Every structure is written in structure tokens, then in C-alpha cells.
Amino acid sequence: MRIDIVSLFPEMFSGPMACSILGRAQSAGLARISVVNPRDFAADKHHIVDDYPFGGGSGMVMKPEPFFSCVESLVSELPPPRSRIILMSPAAPRFCQSDALRLSQLEHLILLCGHYEGVDERVREYLCDEALSVGDYVLTGGELPAMVVTDAVVRLLPGVLGAEDAAALDSYAAGLLEYPQYTRPRKFRELEVPTVLLSGNHAEINRWRRQQSLQKTYELRPDLLESAELSPADRKFLDLLRCGNDKRSN
């Protein structure tokens, strides 16, 4: 996969893009990540990329020309299929795990990072395929969201994580939060690992993990249960949790 990030601050990406999973994915040839500065595509001699908003108001708005010229240059370098162009914006649908999976199946992503007061709306309407937000808050620019999207997408590429089922066991991958994880030592400051994980009974371990996943989701993100695929055993366990909570509240 190729990911091009369009940002006024390419230096922000040098560390995160070279470390850990992202660094290994690029070294292995599984992903190619580059950062392009839209200032290099500004038409005037001063490379101006922002201007005052029409109609008045505070702050500056990023101009459309540098974005259009930059993206057109990037797209012209590649044969079909067409690239997916995404604007990182707080005024957009929230990025989630299903989006990461969807985008990981594409060959080329272009992530546009806004800055200042925002981006000329014509970029969103006529250049981008979609816009994504990483949460209900406002950041200084789109750089950190672009890093989040890149990390979430690249780790889903075949071969990146090593273990075949590693990504499939993540939180949200199956619509639920992941079960608790433990490692050595077995006892730490009088805190012990749950006995079932030491039993060697894989059926019991799997049942415990499923129930722990259901319980954590029920307690922390009950909204996820509305769309999760639940078996009759799952529903019975959740009913027991609800009954227990009802008794404690009475």
C-alpha cells in the first residue's frame, strides 16, 4: 500500500512513521508512506497557502489551489485504480475500526491535513472522496489524525503484524472490546493471574475470554452491543450482568 500525506509540517511525521510497526512495514516493503508539503505547489513566488475568509471572521483559511495541484500530481504518478482522497477534519464522521479495515484493502490513500481556521470547502466537495474525524474535539491541524489513520490502516495489512490472527483479536475487530491480557510473573504484589488462564483447558479459557470481553464492553461501551454479533450464550451472560446490576441498584 502507498499512503501520501499532504501536510504543511512534514517534520512532524519523521519520528512516528519510522518507528515500531510502521517502520517495520516500510522496511519489509508492505507499505510506502511519504509526506508532501502543499506549499511546494503554491503558484505564487512566496508559496502562500492561506488567505482571509470571505465574509469576514477570525483566522486564516487554507487555499484550494495548492491542495488540488498537489493531489493531481500524486494521482498522475499512479495507474488506476483511482486513489482514495481523504480530508482529516473535526467536522466529519468519526473514524472507526471498520473504516480502517475498509481503507486497508485499497492500494493508495492520500490524506489531507488542514490547518489554521480550516480548508476551503471546495477541497472537501470537489477534490476529496470523504472526510474523517478522529474524535469530537478540535486539534491544531490534521497531522495527528493522519498519523492515527495511517497507523490503524497499516497494521491491518497482511504480514505487518506477523501473527495471522493478531488484528482479528483487537478491540473493535469483532464489535467488542478485547478481553484482559496477562503475562509473567504469575503473582505480582499479591495480585494473581486468573486461575482459568493457567488451567490448560482451552475451551474454558475461550469461554472466560468471551465473557470478559462482553463484560468490559457492557461496562465501558454498551453502545457497541447494539450492533455486535451475539450468540444465545452471549445474550444469556449479558442478561445475568444486567440482573446483577439491577439487584445492586435496588
What whole-number distance in Å separates Cα of residue 22 and Cα of residue 32? Answer: 9
9 CB neighbour count, 10 Å cutoff: 14
Q: What is the dihedral of CA 74, 75, 81, 86, to 10 degrees?
A: 80
The residue annotated as part of the active site, out of 170, 178, 180, 207, is 170
Assess whether 93 carries a catalytic annotation.
no
Strand 84-88 relative to strand 108-113, pairing:
parallel
The residue annotated as part of the active site, out of 99, 117, 178, 234, is 117
Assess whether 90 carries a catalytic annotation.
yes
DSSP state of 184: S
The CA-atom distances, in angstroms, between 109 and each of 78, 104, 227 are 11, 9, 28
Assess whether 192 carries a catalytic annotation.
no
The residue annotated as part of the active site, out of 120, 124, 143, 155, is 155
Name the 3-class secondary structure at 12: helix
Whether the Cβ atoms of residue 115 and residue 66 lie closer than 8 Å to each other? no
Whether the Cβ atoms of residue 89 and residue 136 lie closer than 8 Å to each other? no
What whole-number distance in Å separates Cα of residue 217 and Cα of residue 224? Answer: 7
Range list of H helices, 90-191: 97-104, 121-126, 143-154
The answer to whether the Cα torsion of 76, 82, 88, 92 is positive or negative is: positive
The residue annotated as part of the active site, out of 16, 38, 90, 145, is 90
Assess whether 129 carries a catalytic annotation.
no
The set of catalytic residues is: 90, 117, 155, 170
